[in-house]
């Protein structure tokens, strides 16, 4: 890590010796952070490293332990609450946006500070004051637009406009691309660069290393509530960041050796010409063996998720058949698949997988409630509790106990709870759709360990992932989809090595 240049001006933001203790837990221990105007500082670390706690202290939502200092432009400031943070020019845009959907863009931007005229809200003046800010950001909507009609990317733009309207000089973006398409993400990156050129100090929190490489001028890393260090732009690399975040080399995460003579078990799942009539999936055929990890790769929109949903019965198919252990099976809805031992872990765990307001234990037991029913339908709560406790131990879920709500957990632990639910049914085939999306590096390593252990038990596993290093690192062979059909195969007995080049050649339609 390079020393800071002596000629560097006073930081726009400096946080010194920041600690935060909760009952029984020290979330932060003497953390330091510096950010300058006209730069993007990436803040990285595993879930639970302390990033959110540090930013909540900056926002005034939490108060630090005694001895902490926050300086803005070299001057000590007291951030006692969110109003004080706003007054000092600090704005934080969280992953979960905080907008009122039934109000207009202008009403959201002035929320709590509405303009008034003769005792009434002056909407005309509010609209006129908002318009230049929206034009500055290139917003495709006006101040009169109701926020609930906007896309997630557009709502995010409203949050940024609100920050600029409040004359914020320090802007924190917390996992801003989680719900955005690649095109929306690119537009956001352009905006981030624009704001940097205007002299705003940006703190960018992300698990996605490609974004960090592309945008950041420096990267600061937290681990287990402590400050590890900061890398200047020329020092940033995947190996250096991973080692700082988890204390291990990158090589420890991907251990798969692609042996063409890999000893697979018999075919457990066979898919023959399955299709939705060509709308999203053209006729596709493949096999999955016991103990095999089969990857499905392809560009966004290639039909990977749609294929999985047809197999699982979540969407209706117009042709083709599914065979389990060599016998045709009837799957018209997800419950049919589950009864046969085929489980599907969705890519959208929050909207389609978990019940966020329910406890971890309730989420884990949802798929097997019938096992605990006594006469008259009374549940055996003791059996359910033991099952949840065993799942916590087996998958190393980091939470106080199974009774905490699943919505309060980190992304990696939420994913492990959802995976626990499907493992309780005793699956023969497990389809994992983007299993590490929104998950930090340490949790990724644990999920890879679980996948290896399940394969060793003879379960046939299908992994869909947009991250090529992940696909290459954990799969025995890989099918590549393009425009709704399987374009080719790499690894196994295909004669083609499992490399990014070979996968992308098929994904782009460039294979001979």
pLDDT at 34 over 70: yes
Stretch among 31-45, 95-109, 240-254, 381-395 having the lowest mean pLDDT: 240-254
Q: How do residues 73-84 score in pLDDT, each as one tens digit?
A: 999 999 999 999
Q: Which H or E element spans position 413? A: helix 411-423
* Pairing mode, strands 293-298 and 460-464: parallel
pLDDT of residue 41: 97
CATH dotted code for 267-356+426-507: 3.40.50.300
- pTM assigned to the model: 0.60
d(CA 468, CA 472): 6
For helices 411-423 and 381-395, give the axis angle rounded to 10 degrees.
Answer: 120
pLDDT at 62 over 80: yes
pLDDT of residue 113: 81
Q: Read off the pLDDT of each residue in 462-483 and give the average, rounded to a whole number.
A: 90
One fold for 13-248 and 267-356+426-507: yes
Q: Sign of torsion, CA 395 398 402 406?
A: negative
Q: Which residue blocks in 286-399 are alpha helix, DSSP H?
A: 304-312, 334-340, 360-365, 381-395
Dihedral angle computed from the Cα positions of residues 158, 159, 160 and 165, in that order, rounded to the nearest 10 degrees: 80
d(CA 241, CA 230): 10
pLDDT at 139 over 80: yes
Domain-wise residue ranges, the chain: 13-248, 267-356+426-507
Strand partners, 203: 41, 172
**Superfamily of structural domain 13-248:** P-loop containing nucleotide triphosphate hydrolases (3.40.50.300)
The DSSP code for 199 is: T
């Amino acid at each position: 890590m390079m020393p800071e240049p002596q000629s560097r001006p006073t930081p726009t933001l400096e946080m010194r010796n920041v600690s935060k203790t909760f009952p029984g837990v020290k979330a932060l221990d003497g953390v330091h952070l510096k950010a300058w105007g006209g730069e993007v500082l990436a803040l990285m670390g595993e879930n639970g490293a302390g990033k959110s706690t540090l930013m909540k202290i900056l926002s005034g939502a939490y108060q630090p332990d005694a001895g902490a200092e926050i300086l803005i432009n070299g001057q000590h400031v007291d951030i006692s609450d969110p109003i004080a943070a706003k007054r000092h020019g600090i704005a934080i845009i969280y992953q979960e946006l905080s907008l009122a959907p039934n109000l207009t863009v202008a009403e959201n931007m002035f929320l709590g500070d509405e303009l008034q005229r003769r005792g009434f809200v002056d909407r005309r003046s509010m609209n006129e004051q908002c318009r230049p800010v929206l034009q500055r950001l290139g917003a495709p909507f006006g101040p009169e637009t109701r926020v609930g009609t906007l896309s997630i990317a557009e709502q995010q733009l409203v949050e940024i406009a609100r920050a600029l309207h409040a004359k914020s000089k320090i802007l924190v973006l917390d996992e801003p691309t989680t719900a955005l398409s690649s095109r929306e993400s690119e537009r956001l990156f352009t905006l981030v660069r624009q704001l940097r050129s205007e002299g705003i100090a940006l703190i960018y929190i992300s698990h996605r290393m490609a974004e960090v490489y592309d945008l950041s001028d420096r990267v600061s890393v937290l681990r287990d509530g402590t400050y590890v260090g900061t890398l200047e732009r020329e020092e940033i690399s995947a190996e250096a960041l991973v080692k700082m975040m988890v204390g291990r080399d990158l090589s420890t995460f991907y251990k798969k050796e692609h042996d063409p003579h890999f000893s697979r078990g018999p075919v457990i799942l066979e898919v023959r010409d399955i299709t939705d009539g060509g709308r999203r999936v053209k006729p596709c055929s493949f096999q999955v063996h016991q103990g095999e990890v089969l990857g499905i790769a392809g560009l966004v929109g290639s039909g990977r998720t749609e294929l999985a949903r047809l197999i699982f019965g979540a969407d209706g198919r117009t042709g083709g058949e599914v065979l389990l252990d060599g016998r045709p099976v009837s799957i018209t809805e997800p419950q049919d698949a589950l009864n046969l031992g085929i489980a599907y872990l969705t890519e959208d765990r929050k909207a389609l997988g978990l019940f966020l307001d329910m406890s971890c234990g309730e989420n884990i037991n949802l798929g097997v409630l019938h096992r605990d029913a006594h006469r008259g339908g009374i549940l055996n709560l003791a059996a359910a509790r033991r099952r949840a406790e065993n799942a916590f131990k087996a998958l190393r879920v980091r939470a106080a106990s199974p009774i905490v709500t699943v919505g309060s957990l980190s992304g990696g632990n939420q994913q492990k709870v959802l995976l626990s639910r499907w493992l309780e049914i005793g699956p023969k085939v497990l389809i994992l759709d983007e299993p590490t999306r929104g998950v930090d590096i340490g949790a990724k390593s644990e999920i890879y360990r679980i996948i290896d252990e399940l394969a060793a038990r003879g379960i046939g596993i299908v992994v869909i992932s947009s991250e090529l290093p992940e696909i290459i690192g954990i799969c025995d062979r890989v099918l590549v989809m393009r425009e709704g059909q399987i374009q080719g195969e790499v690894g196994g007995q295909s004669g083609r090595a499992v490399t990014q080049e070979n996968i992308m050649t098929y994904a782009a339609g460039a294979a001979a």
